[in-house]
Amino acid sequence: MRAHVAKIFIAAFTVVTLASQAPSARADGDVVKGNIAGTVGLGLLGAEVGLLLPPAFKLQDRWWAWVLFPTLGAVAGAVPGALLFDEGSPKPAVTVSLLGAGMALAIPAIVGAVALKNKRDNAEPEYEGGAVLRFGKVNSRWGVPAVGAAPVYSAAEQSKFGLRQRTFLSLPLVSGRF
């Protein structure tokens, strides 16, 4: 366990160090060609569609399908995006919207693919408390997060300090048992 943490720390440190030493991608007077937001957004959307294909075609037990289909979907979205989006065309609102949609639909696509896989395997979905990504001693899995809400202040704190009640929202993303 400690060896894995050390490797992750070293890799992150290396990436940060190399990124800080990289030359600037844009200097005064340079023109940036293409529109990366639209390209990445379409790539994400393609990968999300590809993630739903293995259980849709009853290939949920094949590891290669879980790698191949999202990869092909990402390429099928990113390549046309790189070729179609020139500087200033379309408007940045369109390309940033595509990027936002790709990012916003990532977790629903993952949860949907796992739910479809469980349905194909005739397994009951697991609704136990936990996070979206759950690590365990034996395996890791995706799940439905245990969303929780609670009041921030007690009644005594509200009356003593004159506070308005606020609500604390909890949405766990990663949990584990080691």
Please check whether residue 72 is in contact with residue 66, taking contact to mean a CB–CB distance below 8 angstroms.
Answer: no
Residues 96 and 154 in one domain: no
**Considering Cα of 101, then 104, then 110, then 115, what sign does the dihedral take?**
negative
Give the range of the structural domain holding residue 89, as residue numbers without chain letter. Answer: 34-124
User: Of 42-46, 116-120, 148-152, which one has max mean pLDDT?
Assistant: 42-46
- Within a domain: 2: no
Average pLDDT on 115-126 reads: 70
3-state SS, residue 85: coil
Q: For 161, phi and psi rounded to 5 degrees? A: -105, -5
- Within a domain: 117: yes
Work out how many domains the chain is built from and give that number.
2
Per-residue pLDDT tens over the stretch 37-58: 888 888 999 999 999 898 888 8
Residues 44 and 65 in one domain: yes
Residues 94 and 117 in one domain: yes
Residues 134 and 147 in one domain: yes
- Within a domain: 21: no
Average pLDDT on 14-33 reads: 50
Among 109, 124, 139, the domain boundary falls at: 124
What's the half-sphere exposure (Cβ side, CA atoms, 13 Å) at 16?
6
Mean of per-residue pLDDT scores for the chain: 76
pLDDT for the residue 7:
55
Q: Per mean pLDDT, which range of 34-38, 44-48, 153-157 is the poorest?
A: 34-38
Tell me if the pTM is above 0.85.
Answer: no
Residues 82 and 119 in one domain: yes
